[in-house]
Amino acid sequence: MSDDNAIDLAQRIIKDSKRIIALTGAGISVDSGIPDFRSEGGLWERYDPHEYATYDSFLVDPSKFWTMGQELADLILKAQPNEAHIALANLEKTGKLRGVITQNIDNLHQTAGSKNVIELHGNYLRAYCMDCHHEYADNEIHRRVINGEIPPKCDKCGGILKSEAVLFNEPLPEKAMEEAVALCRNCDLMIVIGTSLTVYPAAFLPQLAKNSGAKIILVNLEGTNRDNVADVVLRGRASNIVPRILE
């Protein structure tokens, strides 16, 4: 199938669908200036995730995570939603898009205007105290980290703060996973954008939607582990393709 034919087919499927959901990964945010952690030049090339980004390593030495967090916060605070984020937010306003399930921690869907965003891996810009559980929902903590406060401490009790972003070996938010599964079981179309579908349990969600009768559109630069379940596969940058198919 030619690229134009695939685009046309995707547009027809979207037009005929009434209960659409999106599943997004790192690829949707690359054009916002946030590199895929696993790609060349990504964060894991400079910071061994086993040393800097596991829950166990955080408990032993939280300064390791927050040292990496200086660079991550600088990237995320500067990033702005791109055309793909904005196109999804606009589709939600029409009532056709029921929600966005994201593996990203960058808050860009909300900044673009999406309301129903399910964050499977948490949100880097939110933090909480490990001792008194006081929550921090603004960017001030991360600006303090950028300015050298490593690790950041709680204003209330002096305890260590942890980003809400889910670390390796840390359980996924149970409520978020339940909401994602419910969306997958009740959609008639899932648009998968910018994820290679290698990280579980998120990687199984397209199959769950397919088993429930939904069509699947995959948008990614490279092949994924779920290309075989897709009705349409589109190769390219999310910021180029997503606005085209959602016109």
Nearest in space to 127 (alpha carbons), one of 114, 118, 116, 136: 136
The one-letter amino acid at 93: K
Q: Which of 50, 85, 109, 121 is catalytic?
A: 121
Instruction: Mark whether 121 is an active-site residue.
Output: yes
- C-alpha 203/C-alpha 212 separation (Å) is 16
> What are the distances in angstroms from CA 45 to CA 37, 214, 238?
8, 37, 23
DSSP 186-223: T-SEEEEES--S-STTGGGHHHHHHHTT-EEEEEESS-
- C-alpha 203/C-alpha 224 separation (Å) is 10
> At a CB cut-off of 8 Å and minimum separation 6, what does 157 contact?
129, 131, 132, 134
- Which are the catalytic amino acids? 121
